[in-house]
Chain A
């Protein structure tokens, strides 16, 4: 099954990259942009057919390696989970 991990900086953490992108968008005339935050997405193919177990394992991966919970939040999406 596939799992998608979305990682974003916590609100309290300054995102200078997002701010630079926001300035560029404004310069390009996209004046409606009020804030930009840059995150990352990790796509995992995992040999596991049970969505609940998959979610549990991926959460462990996020806590252990994929995210640094001091500065980042993560969310897990399992597309095949109905």
Chain B
């Protein structure tokens, strides 16, 4: 399959604010405009990748991602994932995925109590087979921005050990000369992104759609997205 044949759907909630950036980013890489799907829809057209974008869905009321995670469209996204469909959640999208249980853990308030908005260094980890990491050079350091108040990854110690053992940790915050302290939010095991047990669902806090051109200060987001799209097309 060519990249332009890939059907990408981006879910839009009230308060999503990275949906359009993601649409532009995907179109830049595939020459095909993704479908934007409103959260009230009960069904989803066949898609090769569903993206849950960043933002502040439902104003972060109750808990980040809690209300979006129970939106009508999420039943269709859960069905898509249950069939082995690929799902990627960025930032608030990651929070939403944890609320649905599609990826393990929870994202709680940043340890420093401050909204963190800056570039971070990311280490690509060795993982189980996944289209989101298979094309990436392991141990490569990526520079991609974060922008969140609740990115502090939490899971019980047993679960963290399981994630480590299974190879479900996709990205870790790492030291880089370009940025400040390695771990910006107190995340357990420096976790910036995790994948599901079948490798088909990725949740990550950094925003690849904001690192798409030299004008953004980094093209590492384009690299990350392109390699995922290529793996999904192959």
- Residues on A lying within 8 angstroms of B by beta carbon are 12-14, 16-17, 20, 64-66, 68, 70-71
Residues of A contacting B72 in the complex (Cβ-Cβ under 8 angstroms): none
Q: Are B109 and A70 in contact (CB under 8 A)?
A: no
Known A13-B154, A16-B112; judge A70-B62 contact (CB<8 A).
Answer: no
**Across the A-B interface, the 6 shortest Cβ-Cβ residue pairs:** A70-B106, A71-B106, A16-B113, A16-B111, A16-B109, A68-B106
Residues of B contacting A70 in the complex (Cβ-Cβ under 8 angstroms): 98, 105-106, 154-156
- Cα of A33 to Cα of B156 in the assembled complex, Å: 28
Residues of B contacting A68 in the complex (Cβ-Cβ under 8 angstroms): 63, 66, 99, 106
Known A65-B62, A65-B70, A68-B63; judge A16-B106 contact (CB<8 A).
Answer: no
Tell me how many residue pairs across A and B have CB atoms closer than 8 Å: 36
B219: CB under 8 A from chain A? no
Residues of B contacting A20 in the complex (Cβ-Cβ under 8 angstroms): 113
Q: Whose C-beta in chain A lies nearest to the C-beta of B157? A: A12
- Cα of A64 to Cα of B69 in the assembled complex, Å: 11
- Cα of A12 to Cα of B98 in the assembled complex, Å: 18
- Mask, B143-155, CB within 8 Å of A = 1, is 0000000001011
Shortest CB-to-CB span from A38 to chain B, Å, is 10
- Residues on B lying within 8 angstroms of A by beta carbon are 62-63, 66-67, 70, 98-99, 105-106, 108-113, 152, 154-156, 186
- Cα of A64 to Cα of B108 in the assembled complex, Å: 19
Q: Whose C-beta in chain A lies nearest to the C-beta of B114? A: A16
Residues of B contacting A16 in the complex (Cβ-Cβ under 8 angstroms): 109-113, 186
Select which of B63, B98, B99, B186 is within 8 A of A14 by beta carbon. Answer: B186
- Cα of A20 to Cα of B110 in the assembled complex, Å: 13
Add 18 more A-B contacts to A68-B63, A68-B66, A71-B108 (CB < 8 A). A12-B156, A14-B108, A14-B111, A14-B152, A14-B154, A14-B186, A16-B111, A16-B112, A16-B113, A17-B109, A17-B113, A20-B113, A65-B66, A68-B106, A70-B105, A70-B106, A70-B155, A71-B154
Shortest CB-to-CB span from B172 to chain A, Å, is 19
